[in-house]
Amino acid sequence: VHRGQFPPSFLFGTATSSFQIEGGYLQGNKSLSNWDVFSHMPGKIEDGSNADVADDHYNLFLEDIQLMHSLGVDAYRFSIAWSRVLPQGRFGEVNSEGIEFYNNIIDALLVRDIKPFVTLNHYDLPQLLEDRYGSWLSSEIQLDFGYFAQVCFEAFGDRVTYWSIFNEPNVLIYHGYLLGTYPPGRCSYPFGNCSYGDSALEPYIATHNLVLSHATAAEIYRKYYQEKQGGMIGIVISAPWFEPYDDSPADRLAVQRSLAFYIAWFVDPLVYGDYPPEMRQVLGSRLPTYSAEERKKLLEGKLDFIGVNHYTTLYVKDCMFSSCASPYSLGDAFVYLTGEKDGAYIGERTAMPLFFVVPRGMEGIVTYVKERYNNTPMFITENGYAQPAGAIKDSLNDTKRIEYHENYLAVLSEVVRKGADVRGYFIWSLLDNFEWLYGYLIRFGLHYVDFQTLKRTPKWSATWYTEFLSEDNKIRAI
Ligand code: GCO
């Protein structure tokens, strides 16, 4: 597979997020984020690590942009740390050092002809907003998020034209409010990592405020920036593919419920102005409703693109009629997710739990999003292969990663050829980095990072990507 099999304007890039790479957690007037605080709590991160330093990208960003330049990417997907730009949320000043940091990144990208593809929220927020009013559980967050979005559009929008308002809100909600495994570490589900309080509605409330925060940011962009800056705004969603465990009507329905409870819950409101009917059917009035005014705001803000983060495919079993709820269920969806059937895995296992190599899943998910959302433009905003932690000598020859990308890209090029409006593909990740719950135990990078010396070394996959992206391959198309 080579880039000539994709349309000439198709963007290829790499992706990162601020908390996972920046470090510098107290540098440049930044305040503590919810993830700073959470990762410092004992027992939350598997290897007992934190991201105080991480890849030290805060200090080494130029070197990292140089690595991207060597790869020959068209675009770079990264996120802005809210706690750097507005350390006190809307209760304090805009931090000029934070603005300067991201300005430097954006300018360094542009002189190398790399397009910035910016995420406003990749899970992290100033801890102050958690302490003061409970972040996503309060409608007050809309004011803060809207203000943060506006500050970013104003400061960077003259050069940034791709805005992902949220990254994987579905992961944020499931981990943060159902399982308690991400901040704020709340459980509304009997199988979570903390004691089960009387809080079964919290995920629905938090999502409601998050979706309305998106709508607020979109409204601000459409009203004040769209015409002048001409950018696209979208959402990025964690989007596995699901296959029925048994070819039974119950399991096939369970697949539809999984897609609704995991993906459409967050995307339907931003396209159709309401939650998915499949969810309403199960939840009735436990699911909040949008007022006429909110619905109007949602519809006017409408997404310009949907970002699909795709890594894995899982089997889905129905639990509505047989009881099988576990941590691998999607809350109230009455489903059970697994990668295993009859002693065999759905695809090759990777170092990441539940991440299996199933290239056909790319076709499944892209086709689902295309059909459900009338071929709204899409980007594959993440796709990547997890290696276990290991010494450099065992990590550089990552032929499995190369194979993974080749196979997923081959399927993607077919789906695009068949008419899916996918406009770009980002490899997760440029660098090995802080992998949330797993700390430094799992490596997704095209570049190996020695977390002692911070030295970056290209893996074989970096060389492969460079070759894949080469001009010769671009020309082969014609
Ligand atoms: C996200 C993802 C990334 C992860 C990657 C591997 O929120 O976009 O969680 O940050 O590092 O998906 O798990």
Mean pLDDT by 10 residues, the chain (478 residues): 93 98 98 98 97 98 98 98 98 98 99 98 98 98 98 98 98 94 89 68 96 98 98 98 97 98 98 98 95 97 97 96 83 94 98 98 98 98 97 97 98 98 98 98 98 98 97 61
Distance CA 161, CA 11 (A): 13
**CA proximity to 445, closest of 380, 408, 395, 371:** 395
C-alpha of residue 223 to centroid of ligand 1, in Å: 31
Residues labelled catalytic: 168, 382
Which residues of 41-114 form beta strands (DSSP E)? 75-79
Q: What ranges in 127-173 are assigned the alpha helix state H? A: 127-133, 141-156, 169-173
With a 6 A CB cut-off, is 398 part of the ligand 1 pocket? no
pLDDT for the residue 474:
65
With a 6 A CB cut-off, is 376 part of the ligand 1 pocket? no
- Residue 113 in any domain: the answer is yes
Q: Are 2 and 106 in contact (CB under 8 A)?
A: no
With a 6 A CB cut-off, is 309 part of the ligand 1 pocket? yes
The set of residues, in sequence order, having a beta carbon less than 8 Å from that of 52 and lying 6+ positions away, is 23, 25, 26, 36
pLDDT for the residue 473:
66
Length of the chain: 478
**CA proximity to 149, closest of 237, 205, 88, 233:** 233
Give me the residue label for tokens 């060389």: 463
- Residue 11 in any domain: the answer is yes
Distance CA 316, CA 331 (A): 14
What is the amino acid identity at position 80? I
- Would you tell me the crossing angle of helices 399-417 and 360-372 to the nearest 10 degrees? 40
C-alpha of residue 21 to centroid of ligand 1, in Å: 12
Among 21, 45, 168, name the best residue to mutate to test ligand 1's pocket (greatest count of ligand atoms within 8 A of Cβ). 168
The protein residue with its alpha carbon nearest to ligand 1, atom 11, reads 435
Provide φ and ψ at 104, rounded to 5°: -65, -40
C-alpha of residue 292 to centroid of ligand 1, in Å: 35
With a 6 A CB cut-off, is 64 part of the ligand 1 pocket? no
With a 6 A CB cut-off, is 354 part of the ligand 1 pocket? no
- Residue 335 in any domain: the answer is no
pLDDT for the residue 478:
45
The protein residue with its alpha carbon nearest to ligand 1, atom 1, reads 168
C-alpha of residue 464 to centroid of ligand 1, in Å: 22
C-alpha of residue 422 to centroid of ligand 1, in Å: 20
Q: How many domains does the chain have?
A: 1
With a 6 A CB cut-off, is 168 part of the ligand 1 pocket? yes
The protein residue with its alpha carbon nearest to ligand 1, atom 2, reads 168
Strand partners, 241: 313
Cis peptide before 184 (omega within 30 of 0): yes
- Residue 220 in any domain: the answer is yes
Distance CA 46, CA 181 (A): 11
Range of the domain at 418: 3-239+250-310+355-476
Q: Are 309 and 166 in contact (CB under 8 A)?
A: no
pLDDT for the residue 196:
64
Cis peptide before 353 (omega within 30 of 0): no
Half-sphere exposure of 351 (CA within 13 A, CB side): 19
- Residue 451 in any domain: the answer is yes
- Residue 194 in any domain: the answer is yes
Which ligand 1 atom is the nearest neighbour of the CA of 123?
7
Phi-psi region of 23 (alpha: psi -120 to 50; beta: other; left: phi over 0): left
pLDDT for the residue 197:
60
Provide φ and ψ at 106, rounded to 5°: -60, -45
Which ligand 1 atom is the nearest neighbour of the CA of 355?
13
With a 6 A CB cut-off, is 434 part of the ligand 1 pocket? no
pLDDT for the residue 326:
80
Output the six-digit token pair for 227. 């015409």
Among 17, 124, 308, 381, name the best residue to mutate to test ligand 1's pocket (greatest count of ligand atoms within 8 A of Cβ). 17
Output the six-digit token pair for 305. 């693109």
pLDDT for the residue 194:
73
With a 6 A CB cut-off, is 167 part of the ligand 1 pocket? yes
- Residue 370 in any domain: the answer is yes
**CA proximity to 365, closest of 267, 280, 299, 282:** 267
Among 436, 441, 442, 449, name the best residue to mutate to test ligand 1's pocket (greatest count of ligand atoms within 8 A of Cβ). 436
pLDDT for the residue 200:
85
Q: Residue 223: which CATH number?
A: 3.20.20.80
> ∠ CA(186), CA(190), CA(194), 5° rounding?
40
- Residue 345 in any domain: the answer is no
